[in-house]
Amino acid sequence: MDKDIDIIIYGATGFTGQLCVKYFKSLGTTLKWAIAGRNQEKLKKVAEENLATIEILIADSDDEVALDYLTSRAKVILSTAGPFHRYGSKLVASCVKNNTHYVDITGENFWVKDLIDSHHEEATMKGIRIIPSCGFDSIPSDLGTFYAAKSLGKSIRRIESFHSYQGGASGGTLETMFSMGDLDLGDDLTNPFLLNPEDSYSNEQKKLSSDRVGISKKPEIKAWSGPFIMAAANTRVVRRTEALLALRQESYGTNFTYQEHAFHRSWFSAFKSLILTGISVLVLMSPLKKLVKPFLPKPGEGPSEAVQENGWFDCKFIVETDDGLKSVFTMHGKGDPGYKVTSKLVSECALCLIEDADSLPGGSHYGGVLTSASGLGEPLISRLIKAGISFESTLS
C-alpha cells in the first residue's frame, strides 16, 4: 500500500493529543494529516472542536492488524498515548515493520531501552527513525546540550544544565509516574548509561555521571543548584545522543560528561526543593501513593487554558571545554512546558521528519532508535526558533 498520509496523531483524544491537533490546525499546513485512537466518537468530537476536516482512524493499542493499517499508510506516527510501556510497544513494532518514522513524548527510559533492544538494529538497517522523548522530556536537555556543543566547535569536557519552569500537571503524566512505581525495574532506574550502546563510556565518565546531585553555588549563572525530578529521564537521553554522535565521528568530546539540576535563586529555595523531591520520590515508590492518587488529576485532565498560556521554561547550560574555558547557553520557551510546549515540540519533530527530510543528520538512509538531537539535530533547532523557542549564548 502506498503511503498516502504524511502524519497520523495517535492518542488524539488525550490531553496532549488534543493540543497537538490544535497546533496542527493552527499551522494551516498543506501536509496531509489524520488522527487515530480507539474511540471514534471522541475522535470525531476532537476534529469538530478544532474545525478540522481530517480522516479519523480507529486502532486499539493491542490490535496489530489495525495498527499495521495505520503504519502502512502513514509516513510518520506521532504518539501521545501513554503510559507508553502499556500502549506503545506494538505501535512502534508496527512502525518498524512498515517503514514508518515515529515520535512520542515518553519519559519512560526503561521502555525506550526495550525499544533499543528490540528494534534498533532493524530500524538502522531500514533507515527508519524511531525517536522517543520528544516533549519536555527530553528536548530542552538534549537539544540545548547539542546546540551549546555545536556552537562552540571545540571538544567539550562537561556540560551541566539548570532547569526552571512554571506550569501545571496532567493526569496522564501522573498516571505514568504512579504506574512506574508498580514495576520491578531493577537497575534500570539507577543506571546512568541505561540507553547507551555497550562499551560507549569510560570509568571516568561513570564517576562523573551520578544522579545524586547536591546543593551548590553556581557563580556562572548567579544561582544555586538542586535536584531536578526529571533529571533521571533526561540525562540518559543526552548520553545516548553523545554515544550515537560518536559513532558518526561527531562526538561532543572524548570524555564528555553531563549532569542536570534544578535552578534556584537562593540556597533556601534549593534546600526546600531537596526536601520536596525526597518526599515525592517516597510517595511514588511506596504505598503512600494510593492515599495521594485520588486527590490528583485523572488521565485526560490537565492544566487550565490560563495556566497553559502563562507557563514557561528556562534551561541554562554551563559548558566547559577541554581547554578549561567555560561559557553559558540558554534555551527558553513560553507556555506550560508539560503540555502547551510539549505539544509544540513533538509536533515540530513530526513535521521535521517530513518537511526537512533531505537535510536530516546522518543522511537519508540513517535510522535506528534515536534521540531528538541525533535524529533531527540542526533542522529541528531551526524549526523551533521559528516556532518561538529561543536558543542563546553569552558568546560575543
In the predicted model, is pLDDT for residue 21 greater than 70? yes
In the predicted model, is pLDDT for residue 291 greater than 80? no
Cα 319 from chain centroid? Answer: 22
Q: Given this model, what pLDDT does residue 181 score? A: 62
In the predicted model, is pLDDT for residue 341 greater than 70? yes
| Domain ranges (residues) in the chain | 5-135+340-393, 139-336
Pick the CATH number of 5-135+340-393 from 3.30.43.10, 3.30.70.360, 3.40.50.720, 2.40.10.220: 3.40.50.720
Look at the block and give the residue holding cell 562537561: 158
> Which whole number is the average pLDDT over 29-51?
96
CA distance linking residue 334 with residue 231, whole number of Å: 21
> Which whole number is the average pLDDT over 360-376?
97
Question: Over the stretch 161-176, which tens digit does the pLDDT of each residue have?
Answer: 999 999 876 566 666 6
In the predicted model, is pLDDT for residue 294 greater than 80? no
CA distance linking residue 263 with residue 161, whole number of Å: 9
Question: Over the stretch 42-86, which tens digit does the pLDDT of each residue have?
Answer: 999 999 999 989 999 999 999 999 999 999 999 999 999 999 999
Q: Given this model, what pLDDT does residue 43 score? A: 97
Q: Given this model, what pLDDT does residue 92 score? A: 98
- First and final C-alpha spacing in the chain: 53
How, if at all, do strands 33-37 and 55-58 pair? parallel
Q: Which of 100-104, 176-180, 223-227, 276-280 has the lowest mean pLDDT?
A: 176-180
Helix, strand, coil percent content, the chain, rounded in steps of 5: 45, 20, 35
Best CA proximity match to 314, nearest among 263, 382, 383, 388? 263
In the predicted model, is pLDDT for residue 272 greater than 50? yes
Best CA proximity match to 241, nearest among 371, 117, 125? 371
Q: Given this model, what pLDDT does residue 343 score? A: 97
Sort 396 into a burial class: Cβ within 10 Å, 0-12 / 13-18 / 19+.
exposed
CA distance linking residue 330 with residue 334, whole number of Å: 14
pTM of the model: 0.94
In the predicted model, is pLDDT for residue 370 greater than 90? yes
Q: Residues near 118 by Cβ (< 8 Å), separated by ≥ 6? A: 93
Question: Over the stretch 233-251, which tens digit does the pLDDT of each residue have?
Answer: 999 999 999 999 999 999 9
Contact 345, 143 (CB under 8 A): no
* Share above pLDDT 90 across residues of the chain, in percent, rounded to a whole number: 79
In the predicted model, is pLDDT for residue 396 greater than 60? no
Locate 160 and state its grid cell. 551541566
CA distance linking residue 56 with residue 38, whole number of Å: 10
What's the mean per-residue pLDDT of the chain? Answer: 92
The enclosing H or E element of 264 equals: strand 257-264
Best CA proximity match to 239, nearest among 314, 149, 321? 149
> Which whole number is the average pLDDT over 19-30?
96
Residue 290 banded pLDDT, cuts 50, 70, 90: confident
More confident residue, 382 or 174: 382
Question: Over the stretch 82-130, which tens digit does the pLDDT of each residue have?
Answer: 999 999 999 999 999 999 999 999 999 999 999 999 999 999 999 999 9
In the predicted model, is pLDDT for residue 297 greater than 80? no
Best CA proximity match to 319, nearest among 310, 309, 329, 311? 329
More confident residue, 178 or 167: 167
CA angle at residue 348 from 347 to 350, to 5 degrees?
65
For the beta sheet containing 312-321, the strands, ordered from the edge strand earlier in sequence to the opposite edge, are 216-218, 223-226, 257-264, 156-166, 312-321, 326-334, 390-393
Q: Given this model, what pLDDT does residue 285 score? A: 67
